[in-house]
Amino acid sequence: MKISYQQKILFTLFFLVSLTMMGQNSGKIIGKVTLSDNSPAENIAVALRNTKYNTVTNFNGQYEFKNVKPGNYILSINGIAIKAITENITVNSNQTITRNFKLNENKEELNEVIIKKNKYKQNQPSLSLRLNTPVLEIPQNIQIISGQTLKDQQITSMSDGVIRNVSGAVRLEHWGDMYTNINMRGSQIQAFRNGFNVVSSFWGPLTEDMSFVDHIEFVKGPAGFMLSSGDPSGLYNVVTKKPTGITKGEVNVTGGSFDFYRASIDLDGKLDKKGKLLYRFNGSAQNRGSHRKFEHNDRYAIAPVISYQVDDKTKITLEYNYQHANTTEVGSYYVFGPASGGYANLPVGFTMTQPGVPDTKINDHSAYLMFEHNFNSNWKFTAQTSYFKYLQQGYSSWPSAVGPHFIDTDDDKIPDTQVLDAGEEIRNVSIWDADGNMYLGQMFLNGKFNTGKVTHKFLGGIDLGSKDYLADWGQSHDLDTFTTPFNVYNPNYGTPVNGLPNFDRETPLKERAVATYGSQYAAAYAQDELGFFENKLRLTLAARYTWIKQTSTYSDPASDGHITPRIGLSYSINPSTSMYALYDQAFSPQPGITRSGSVKPLTGTNREIGIKKDWFNGAWSTTLSAYSILKQNELTSDPQNTPGENYSVILGENKAEGFEVDLRGKIVEGLNLIANYAFTESKVTKISDAISQATGINKGDIIPGYSKHVANAWLNYTFPSGILKGFGASIGGTYLAGRQTDTWSPGLEKLPTYFKMDGGLSYETNKFKVTANVFNILDKYLYSGSFYQWVSEGVYYWQTEAPRNFRVGVTYKF
């Protein structure tokens, strides 16, 4: 009799469960670790010496050892900057032993020391990722960028150098400091904030100001089974700052090149004597010029948070984030040149923007309400809802024609007429007003239980969401004329010959909008992480059902539902080393339009293997992963787009493959390192003859939007003692090779290899810290860009990065 594939799986699972049910009766050890101020001690290592039993305390300071064989043991408590505790324990059959411990350190002291001792490594994902498992044991590549990393590198927004800290992440079209748009594993990944997918269109959300960001989690590969639907390449989750219960504050003032001035404040404390009502307030204000004339990006942000601990089991948190940006028109950072000239043939500070074009103003609101309830130490229920409001009133610049430009007479007997010489251009400004709304909700349950000697970590929940985005970019105005064009070699920034734009804003946006996108979704999911052999072997089984309805100005409403399974296997070779394998699927709506009008949701599968290791008692960690992602129905820009068109085409199937290496943490006392490398390859594997003939895209073509080789490093050393105690130095670099453009029209000139070096000095005392960084130390001409074949005879456009520049910041803690 032939045994089916499904029967083999069931037999294997039954065999594993049967093995764990065998053997003698065992005991259990439970307990809680608290600090001197009675607050729970989270992430404290608890172990039975010379055995395989080890764990870390959860957010309530609790720990647990199950299935402990009868015998005598030494229980040890260890953690960064705490005095180790040991106790002899005897375990008998069918006995539960409770051992509670109180440390001498208080929460404030411990937090300060942890930051100083291990600035760049975090062991636990946030609550918003919903995983109650250490990063080391999760069968997926997850990289966490700590808040201290952001401070050391003087990162001020999500689009300001964050990606150097995670393998394979690139930004091809930088969109100034407005939209982050990160590509990883061959395509653009989803943007999340506090566990919510905040993408309602290709343009947005507004890049987060770092003043209210605690840390950032990059999840490689799909996680749509538990969050909301997302791209199979991955996501990044911005986790905002929450009250800690510690009364403290921090003020930072920073100044730098190109009229960069910034101030921020972080206040954290209690609103009542019992410490049940807590608050956190973050705010920032920034004036930021540019190495290009007439360009700026001024912003401010406020982010108040209040939490109330109803009792020992229940907490309510209310949060609001507001960001305001006042910036030069979208596209001011691009430079356009004729196909004959190639990339970067103008000075690094050259601009095509026109003084007098009004600023673009963006208001980005988000509000969250979270409810958390612990039924007991094993079961927790979380519900949260959020509302996002995005308002933009502004402008966008893009040329109408770039010389050499000919008028085609469509008559072979009459020669075409050249109306623009090389270097002459017609600049165009269009309106760009937008309104976006998102209503999102989540409920999920985390739990732990046993069936015999098999441990279970259960996760189940539902997601609901409604998103809409509408925009008016249908009004446009040429600044120049064919008789008096703009000359890039002899620019005239006086009043343009054709005057400045004067667009209709009296008509409500809903009536004049030329593009609308909308989606509604509902989903339910469940996951069980089964632990065998004292949790040495972990099997993750999960499934999610997602229903999505999409609407667009250019197509009829469409809805679809899909079940996406997930299977993960993780095995601990020893307490500091684990291997994993993962099979996952994704299902995601795609904002956009095709010429036929129909847009299907993206579906994809991810296969991934990897090995993770913590070194020197968890001081630093390494992750090595290899993956293969197969996507169906992915949208990509239509190569036949002419100026003003934003059509997409649907690829039949494409595959991204590669491998990644990440290292982060404290190498030795005072020396911290972040280093990573990624190799990526993404190609079309299947395409219909009709699409191929219409677009010129063929099987085997490279998908635009990634770099084949990406390597980063950031090294920081701070003297831990002696006369130089508190002095620090940093050096870092980014290397990109095999850079693909963002369009299907690569042109004759490829993007060159990219290398950028940064570095800095710092000095820190208990209250003050001075940080100075120099960026682009080698003063290289750095840029990103693409070839666009549908303007004139084809044009290269690029966006330069700033030449050598600096920032100096002073932080005071109180």
pLDDT value at residue 18: 46
Whether the per-residue pLDDT at 380 is higher than 70: the answer is yes
pLDDT value at residue 594: 72
Q: How do residues 328-352 score in pLDDT, each as one tens digit?
A: 999 999 999 877 788 999 999 999 9
Of 7-11, 310-314, 546-550, 573-577, give the lowest mean pLDDT range. Answer: 7-11
Whether the per-residue pLDDT at 150 is higher than 70: the answer is yes
Whether the per-residue pLDDT at 534 is higher than 90: the answer is no
Whether the per-residue pLDDT at 4 is higher than 70: the answer is no
Residue 742 vs residue 616, higher pLDDT:
616
Which residues are 457's β-sheet partners?
448, 529
What is the mean pLDDT of the segment spanning 116-141? 85
Q: Where do we find the tokens 């002291």?
A: 109
Q: What is the CATH number of domain 5-109?
A: 2.60.40.10
C-alpha 176/C-alpha 164 separation (Å) is: 17
C-alpha 169/C-alpha 209 separation (Å) is: 19
Please give the CATH superfamily to which domain 115-240 belongs: TonB-dependent receptor, plug domain (2.170.130.10)
Share of the chain above pLDDT 90, in %: 57
Query: For the purposes of burial, counting CB atoms within 10 Å of the CB of 483, is it exposed (0-12), middle (13-18) or buried (19 or more)?
Result: exposed
- What number of CA atoms fall less than 13 Å from residue 222's CA on the CB side? 33
pLDDT value at residue 391: 96
C-alpha 662/C-alpha 711 separation (Å) is: 10
Q: How do residues 711-769 score in pLDDT, each as one tens digit?
A: 999 999 999 999 999 999 999 999 999 998 878 777 778 899 999 999 999 999 989 99
pLDDT value at residue 698: 85
C-alpha 89/C-alpha 85 separation (Å) is: 13
C-alpha 110/C-alpha 108 separation (Å) is: 5
**Burial track 182-193 (b if 16+ CB lie within 10 A, e otherwise):** bbbbbbbbbbbb
Of 479-488, 649-658, 706-715, 743-752, give the lowest mean pLDDT range. Answer: 743-752
Residue 417 vs residue 100, higher pLDDT:
100
pLDDT value at residue 83: 73
Whether the per-residue pLDDT at 419 is higher than 60: the answer is yes
Q: How do residues 66-116 score in pLDDT, each as one tens digit?
A: 888 888 999 988 765 567 788 999 998 888 899 999 887 655 555 554 545
Average pLDDT, the chain: 87
pLDDT value at residue 749: 85
Pair type for strands 101-102 and 27-34? parallel
**pLDDT grade for 58, boundaries at 50, 70 and 90:** confident
pLDDT value at residue 23: 39
pTM to 2 decimal places: 0.85
Please give the CATH superfamily to which domain 248-813 belongs: TonB-dependent receptor, beta-barrel domain (2.40.170.20)
Whether the per-residue pLDDT at 318 is higher than 70: the answer is yes
**Contact in structure between 442 and 460 (CB atoms under 8 Å):** no
**Contact in structure between 74 and 87 (CB atoms under 8 Å):** yes
Spatial CA neighbour of 398 closest among 332, 494, 337, 351? 332
Domain positions in the chain: 5-109, 115-240, 248-813
pLDDT value at residue 274: 86
Q: How do residues 178-221 score in pLDDT, each as one tens digit?
A: 888 899 998 888 899 999 999 887 776 789 999 999 999 999 98
Residue 639 vs residue 443, higher pLDDT:
443
Residue 233 vs residue 578, higher pLDDT:
578
Q: How do residues 216-271 score in pLDDT, each as one tens digit?
A: 999 998 765 565 566 788 899 999 999 988 889 999 999 999 999 999 999 999 99
Spatial CA neighbour of 228 closest among 447, 439, 528, 540? 439
Reported for 82-86, long-range contacts at CB under 8 A and 24+ positions apart, including other chains, are: 82/44, 82/110, 86/49
pLDDT value at residue 405: 81
C-alpha 77/C-alpha 87 separation (Å) is: 9
Q: Residue 337 in 3-state DSSP?
A: strand
